[in-house]
A and B are shown apart, each in its own frame.
Chain A
Amino acid sequence: MKHALLAGLLLLAACASFKPQNPPLAKYAPQAGYRFEHLEPGDNSDRLFVILTFSGGGTRAAALAYGVLEALRDTTIDWQGRRVSLLDEVDVISSISGGSFPAAYYALRGKRIFDEFPEKFLYRPVQSELIKLALSPASWPKLAAPAYGRSDLAAEFYHREVFAGATYAEVIARKARPFVILNATDMSTAAQFPFIQDQFDLLCSDLAGVPLARAAASSSAFPGALTALTFRNYAGSCEYRQPAWVQLAAEDHASRANARRTARAENRLSLAAAGPARPYLHLTDGGVADNIGLRGPLEAIASVNHPWSVLQRMNQKKIDKLVVIVVNAATNPATGRDQSASVPGLVDTLTTAATVPLDNYSFDTVELLRRTVEEFDADARLVEGCNRLAARKGEQCALRLAVPHKVDLYPIQVAFDYIAAREERSWFKNLPTTFELPRQSIDRLRAVGRRLLGEDPQFQSLLQALGGCLAGGGRTC
């Protein structure tokens, strides 16, 4: 009888229809929704434009990112005649997976994160609680449904226990910077999927109705351990109009002028294809597309065709200093593989195949940031050099070439690779990727995040330029 009842329940659940957690958008409204330009800058000036990126890496990444947030809070600078906290100047946070939890919490609660987040998430045995929940017979009927997976269960847990039932409507209502972008990956196109209204416009969906927990769960749906999350695509139902650049870029296939821009345009066209061509989207961990969350910011820096283009603002001479702080919790766990002649097993081989390309891609992404900064510097130096050379030949030879608006760039990196002591570096690089770490490990991660930020040469240059200091750092405050 008991078994029959259970089987009946499971059958009922399996037949249950999919209930989308992302509501439709009645009409495309570019003046509404979660968009960078709708956030009140307050005292946060664009002249100093600060972007943070938080990588994936479970609780390890969350704690490292949290430590950097604490350090930015405790860093004061002289800016526009006031003594301000550098944290108040942060304009954008782009996050992946574990890094998405402090990012989302900061978007929702602002500085209350420093009172609430450690106990709500960092020090909590989230992984054990999730496993307990998945093994509970009460969850089985839901888990038996084809459109409901372990990540849906995790999203409900985060919704209840971490984000107190908040949706993006509450983040929008704060109208405050920073613009926080949680990133997942579209499984079918392998493209990054940012949780911002510009992206949800393509689906004719209203991000305001999406639980913050669902965005965090999508961003951290580590393949295998967690399932992808399903979103409904209502494309074609809201009179959406693509921005002008999309059609122009889509016509550039043959010219090969900018393959990346063309691919971005095609991705937008594919998501917004009426019908819709893809009625459902399946989002997995943001780390699959970009594990450090830097690709979106790089596009914003190098393209005028971006929902929060930094390049447009540079052309408008609104930005004088651009700071990009990359918080990367990547590890490189030691392996005993090469101590034995045995052929590596299937799990070892598959794990290597899944993680090595991501790590290499992350390395290339950081290199791309360095090259972009060099390109900006080289352009400015070249024109200024020509003007100087010509001027030396006499006034009659003066060129007075126009110079693109000069922006001082500060690429800052917080990563375990920069820990000087081998033993300490090795300890951090062998921390596991899990949603549960001992309290002492969390404390060490918070402290090392602060220390590595303070030690970064570019961060020190920034502090020097702004008369700044990090409390507890090298310079006296």
Chain B
Amino acid sequence: MEHVRVTFPTVRLVYIDGEESGNTNEVLRVDAGTHLFALGNLANYRPASRKVMVRDTTALEPLQIRFFRKDAA
């Protein structure tokens, strides 16, 4: 079992491989392998999605996957 934390300034739904799977800024469980992370169809964040290999994480040190507001520097 792997652990990720998808970060964003506000609470948003997290989509893993196109399926709703929890919220931003929380530790989420995911199986190892390459996954596609996104925050849904809203256009005000970047990048639009992130393709990430998830492996060798722990619950203490989840992989951080960062998203930003589009208007942020």
Contacts and interface: CB of A to CB of B under 8 A. Distances in A.
A248 B26 contact: no
B36 A248 contact: yes
B36 A311 contact: no
B11 interface: no
A102 to B, nearest CB: 31
A472 interface: no
Contacts of B53: 252, 255, 257
B50 interface: no
Contacts of B34: 248-249, 251-252, 255, 257
> Which of B21, B34, B54, B55 is packed against the most chain A CB atoms within 10 Å?
B34
Contact of B1 (A245, A252, A262, A376): A376
Interface stretch (A129-137, A147-155, A280-288, A312-320): A312-320
Contacts of A248: 17, 33-36, 51
B66 interface: no
B27 interface: yes
Interface in B28-52: 28-36, 51
B35 A404 contact: no
A40 interface: no
**Size bin of chain A's contact surface:** 35 or more
A405 B14 CA distance: 15
B17 A243 contact: yes
B17 A314 contact: no
A382 B59 CA distance: 8
Contact of A257 (B14, B21, B22, B32): B32
A258 B56 CA distance: 11
A386 interface: yes
Contact of B35 (A245, A314, A405): A245
B73 interface: no
Interface stretch (A63-71, A301-309, A329-337, A342-350): A301-309
Contacts of A380: 59
A258 B35 CA distance: 12
Nearest to B22: A315
A4 interface: no
Given A257-B34, A257-B53, A401 B60 contact: yes
A383 interface: yes
A309 B18 CA distance: 13
Contacts of A245: 17-18, 35-36
B35 A379 contact: no
A244 B17 contact: yes
B59 to A, nearest CB: 4
> Which of B22, B33, B34, B53 is packed against the most chain A CB atoms within 10 Å?
B33
B21 A316 contact: yes
A248 to B, nearest CB: 5
Interface string A240-279: 0001110011011001011001100000000000000000
* Closest 8 pairs between A and B when the two form their complex, measured CB to CB: A315-B22, A379-B59, A245-B17, A258-B33, A244-B18, A258-B32, A303-B31, A248-B34
11 contacts: A245-B17, A248-B34, A249-B33, A304-B16, A312-B16, A312-B22, A315-B28, A379-B1, A383-B59, A404-B3, A405-B22
